[in-house]
């Protein structure tokens, strides 16, 4: 499309499904800026706040998110998501119109969309980021239907970046390694992580990282605070609420932060013996990059997280437990005996970002 690769200004837009998509865009933004590209982001709410905290001078255009809501029960999740489909389809159509005007107004040369389906254009090259080439569902026939819809959107992009490694030893399993790939160009770009592995003195026994859509984020927070209130261990709880001024009162051995910037969060994770978190893929990538022992609690009814937690548990990479079955005292004992075997997987090479862009357009 652009034989001379005349790309200077790049728009990057993460999905607003928790903080994970915005978080994993951070190493990409860093690489782009370090290699001389002009970067503009598109986000709202906590995702915009997170990116602004990491990049104070970054221009962030307001873009309405998908604003997916979860149900309080696992059984009700499918119906809750189904009821939101018409609104999600309208949002995707609005994205097409929004992007068309933004390309002209801000002279955008290339778009990187992290799981936002409506940010492709025939005017300029567009790249789609996803680790979910396979969208897990309760039935095989439904997975095939969802994959067809997924690929129909992905194939509108010039290429697809998959944040995982190719081959049998990988992080996301069948999610990122389906039997059939999209027809557009697919690049396995390695694990996306903000963090760098190094040694640190232990400060916490457990670091709890919360994230994801409501109300499940709050339900898990309440469960963990109640369970760990009587467990005399040094605990840090990071609530995953950037921009919040909420004050939560709990036991003296539990330290609570609404949010931590990337460098402080890295330090806290390195200083912790175990990490307790959702099995969101971005969190998994970052924990693997730091070689941390993790206890994963998939969001009830979120099939991707449930699959990922079971896979990582079976591979002895992370320990996993269902939210309803989580008992703090029992889990502490089980984690001591869990045979962790954490692989060292290749990470994203920010120094090679220009070569990757050239291969993608």
User: Which of 171, 160, 83, 169 lies closest to 127 in space, CA to CA?
Assistant: 160
50 CB-contact burial (10 Å; exposed 0-12 / middle 13-18 / buried 19+): buried
Q: Write out pLDDT tens, residues 150-188.
A: 999 999 999 999 999 999 999 999 999 999 999 999 999
Q: Report the number of secondary-structure helices (H) and strands (E) in the chain.
A: 10, 13
Q: Is the peptide bond before 102 cis (omega within 30 degrees of 0)?
A: no
Is residue 198 assigned to a domain? no
Distance separating alpha carbons of residues 158 and 160, to the nearest angstrom: 7
pLDDT > 70: what percent of the chain?
Answer: 93
Q: How confident is the model at residue 292 (pLDDT cuts 50, 70, 90)?
A: very high
Distance separating alpha carbons of residues 324 and 140, to the nearest angstrom: 26
Beta strands in 267-321 (DSSP E): 272-277, 293-296, 319-320
Q: How confident is the model at residue 110 (pLDDT cuts 50, 70, 90)?
A: very high
Q: How confident is the model at residue 69 (pLDDT cuts 50, 70, 90)?
A: low
Q: Write out pLDDT tens, residues 15-28.
A: 987 788 999 999 99
User: Which of 228, 217, 157, 227 lies closest to 186 in space, CA to CA?
Assistant: 157
Task: Note whether 327 and 245 are same-domain residues.
Answer: yes
Is residue 342 assigned to a domain? no
Task: Note whether 164 and 296 are same-domain residues.
Answer: no
The stretch 96-123 carries a mean pLDDT of 96
Hey, what's the torsion of the CAs at 91, 81, 171, 263, to 10 degrees? 60
Is residue 199 assigned to a domain? no
pLDDT(109) > 90 = yes
- Count CA atoms closer than 13 A to 297's CA, side-chain side: 22
pLDDT(73) > 70 = no
> What's residue 70's pLDDT?
57
Q: How confident is the model at residue 74 (pLDDT cuts 50, 70, 90)?
A: low
- Count CA atoms closer than 13 A to 267's CA, side-chain side: 5
Task: Note whether 232 and 166 are same-domain residues.
Answer: no
> What's residue 30's pLDDT?
97
- DSSP state letter for 254: E
Task: Note whether 31 and 173 are same-domain residues.
Answer: yes
pLDDT(68) > 70 = no
> What's residue 87's pLDDT?
73
CATH of residue 263's domain is: 3.40.50.2000
Q: Write out pLDDT tens, residues 111-147.
A: 999 999 999 999 999 999 999 999 887 778 888 888 9
Task: Note whether 28 and 168 are same-domain residues.
Answer: yes
Report in angstroms the alpha-carbon separations of 271 from 132, 266, 328, 331, 334.
31, 9, 20, 20, 21
Task: Note whether 180 and 266 are same-domain residues.
Answer: no
Is residue 30 assigned to a domain? yes
User: Which of 213, 178, 221, 237 lies closest to 305 in space, CA to CA?
Assistant: 213
- DSSP state letter for 134: S
Distance separating alpha carbons of residues 259 and 292, to the nearest angstrom: 20
The residue ranking higher by pLDDT, 329 or 273, is 273
Task: Note whether 259 and 288 are same-domain residues.
Answer: yes
The residue ranking higher by pLDDT, 91 or 178, is 178
Is residue 48 assigned to a domain? yes
Domain count across the chain? 2
Is residue 184 assigned to a domain? yes
The residue ranking higher by pLDDT, 64 or 342, is 342
Task: Note whether 269 and 219 are same-domain residues.
Answer: yes
Task: Note whether 128 and 261 are same-domain residues.
Answer: no
> What's residue 301's pLDDT?
81
Task: Note whether 234 and 156 are same-domain residues.
Answer: no
Whole-structure pTM over 0.95, yes or no? no
Write out the residue range of the structural domain in which residue 259 sits: 204-337
Is residue 212 assigned to a domain? yes
pLDDT(313) > 80 = yes
Contact predicate 195/164, CB 8 Å:
no
- Other beta carbons within 10 Å of 205: 17
Task: Note whether 212 and 176 are same-domain residues.
Answer: no
Task: Note whether 88 and 147 are same-domain residues.
Answer: yes
Q: How confident is the model at residue 83 (pLDDT cuts 50, 70, 90)?
A: low
pLDDT(213) > 80 = no
User: Which of 259, 251, 206, 204 lies closest to 225 in space, CA to CA?
Assistant: 251
> What's residue 3's pLDDT?
44
Distance separating alpha carbons of residues 258 and 238, to the nearest angstrom: 6
With H, G, I as helix, E, B as strand and everything else as coil, classify residue 40: strand
Q: Beta strand pairing status for 126-129 and 110-114?
A: parallel
> What's residue 106's pLDDT?
97
Q: What is the DSSP string of 176-238?
A: T--SS--SSEEEE--B--S---------EEEEEE--SSTTHHHHHHHHHHHHHTTS-S-EEEE
Contact predicate 92/118, CB 8 Å:
yes
Helix, strand, coil percentages (3-state) for the chain, rounded to 5, are 40, 15, 45
Q: How confident is the model at residue 82 (pLDDT cuts 50, 70, 90)?
A: low
Lowest mean pLDDT among 63-67, 100-104, 153-157, 225-229: 63-67
* Residues forming beta bridges with residue 255, ordered by sequence position: 236
Is residue 196 assigned to a domain? no
Contact predicate 237/257, CB 8 Å:
yes
């Amino acid at each position: 499309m652009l034989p001379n690769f005349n790309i200077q200004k790049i728009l990057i837009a993460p999905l607003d499904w928790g903080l994970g998509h915005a978080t994993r865009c951070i190493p990409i933004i860093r690489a782009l800026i370090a290699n001389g590209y002009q970067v503009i982001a598109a986000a709202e709410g906590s995702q915009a706040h997170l990116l602004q905290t990491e990049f104070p001078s970054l221009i962030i255009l307001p873009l309405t998110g998908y604003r997916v809501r979860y149900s309080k029960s696992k059984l009700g999740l499918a119906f809750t998501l189904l009821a939101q489909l018409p609104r999600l389809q309208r949002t995707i159509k609005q994205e097409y119109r929004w992007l068309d005007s933004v390309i002209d107004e801000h002279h955008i040369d290339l778009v990187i969309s992290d799981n936002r389906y409506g940010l492709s254009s025939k005017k300029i090259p567009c790249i789609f980021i996803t680790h979910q080439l396979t969208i897990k569902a309760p039935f095989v026939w439904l997975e095939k239907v969802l994959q067809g819809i997924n690929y129909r959107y992905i194939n509108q992009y010039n290429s697809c970046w998959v944040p995982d490694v190719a081959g049998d030893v990988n992080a996301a399993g069948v999610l990122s390694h389906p039997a059939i790939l999209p027809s557009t160009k697919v690049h396995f770009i390695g694990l996306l992580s903000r963090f760098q592995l190094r040694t640190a003195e232990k400060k916490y026994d457990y670091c709890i990282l919360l994230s994801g859509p409501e109300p499940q984020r709050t339900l898990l927070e309440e469960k963990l605070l109640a369970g760990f209130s009587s467990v005399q261990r040094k605990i840090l709880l990071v609530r995953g609420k950037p921009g919040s001024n909420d004050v939560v009162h709990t036991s003296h051995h539990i330290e609570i932060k609404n949010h931590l910037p990337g460098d402080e969060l890295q330090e806290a994770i390195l200083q912790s013996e175990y990490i307790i978190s959702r099995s969101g893929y971005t969190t998994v990538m970052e924990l693997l990059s730091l070689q941390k022992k993790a206890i994963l609690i998939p969001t009830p009814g979120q099939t991707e997280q449930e699959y990922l937690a079971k896979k990582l548990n079976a591979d002895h990479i992370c320990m996993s437990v269902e939210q309803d079955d989580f008992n703090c005292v029992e889990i502490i004992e089980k984690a001591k005996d869990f045979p962790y075997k954490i692989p060292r997987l290749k990470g994203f090479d920010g120094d090679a970002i220009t070569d990757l862009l050239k291969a993608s357009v």
